[in-house]
Amino acid sequence: MWAKVTSIGLKGMEGYRMHVEVGSYVGNDSFKIVGLPDAAVKESKERIIAALRTLGYHLSGQKIIINLSPADQKKYGSMFDFPMAIAVLQSLHELEVILPEDTGFLGSLSLDGSIQPVEGMLPAVLAAKRLGIQKLYMPFDKELPVLDLQPLEIIYVSSLQDAIGHLSGQSVPPFYKKQETEKYRSIVYLDMDQIIGHKAAKHALEIAAAGEHHVLLTGPPGCGKSMLAESFPSILPSLSKESLLEVISLHQLSQNSFPHSNLPPFRNPHHSASGVSIIGGGQYPKPGEISLAHHGVLFLDEIGEFSKKTLDMLRQPLENGLIMISRTHATITYPASFILIAAMNPCPCGYEGSTTHYCTCSKKQVLAYQNRLSGPLRDRFDINLSLRPIDFNAAAHKKEEESSKIVRERVEQARNRQYDRYGMEVCNSRIPYEILLCKSPLTDTQHSTLQRLAIKKSWSNRIQIKIIRLARTISDLQASPTITDQSIWEAIELNEV
Given a cut of 90, is residue 141 above it in pLDDT? no
pLDDT in the model for residue 249: 92
Mean pLDDT of 443-472: 93
pLDDT in the model for residue 58: 84
> What single-letter amino acid sits at 363?
K
Q: Cα–Cα distance between 137 and 80 in angstroms, integer?
A: 12
pLDDT in the model for residue 256: 83
Q: Are residues 251 and 356 in the same domain?
A: yes
pLDDT in the model for residue 182: 39
Residue 379 in any domain: the answer is yes
Work out the mean pLDDT of the chain and round it to a whole number: 89
Provide CB contacts within 8 A for 294, sequence distance 6+: 246, 247, 250, 265, 335, 336, 337, 338
Residue 60 in any domain: the answer is yes
Provide CB contacts within 8 A for 81, sequence distance 6+: 44, 47, 48, 51, 107, 108, 109
pLDDT in the model for residue 495: 87
CATH number of the domain at 12, please.
3.30.230.10
Q: Are residues 246 and 385 in the same domain?
A: yes
pLDDT tier at 180 (50, 70, 90 boundaries)? Answer: very low
Residue 104 in any domain: the answer is yes
Closest CA to 445 of 403, 411, 489: 489
pLDDT in the model for residue 179: 46
Residue 425 in any domain: the answer is no
Structural domain count of the chain: 3
CATH number of the domain at 347, please.
3.40.50.300
pLDDT in the model for residue 47: 95
Q: Are residues 384 and 239 in the same domain?
A: yes
pTM of the entire predicted model: 0.89
Rounded to 10 degrees, the C-alpha dihedral 460/463/465/470 comes to -170
Mean pLDDT of 367-379: 90
Q: Are residues 269 and 344 in the same domain?
A: yes
Residue 475: which domain range? 432-496
pLDDT tier at 357 (50, 70, 90 boundaries)? Answer: confident
Q: Cα–Cα distance between 143 and 259 in angstroms, integer?
A: 9
Mean pLDDT of 107-130: 92
Residue 177 in any domain: the answer is no
Q: Are residues 275 and 386 in the same domain?
A: yes
- As a residue count, the chain comes to 497
The tens digit of pLDDT for each residue in 31-72 reads 999 998 989 899 999 999 999 999 999 888 889 999 999 998
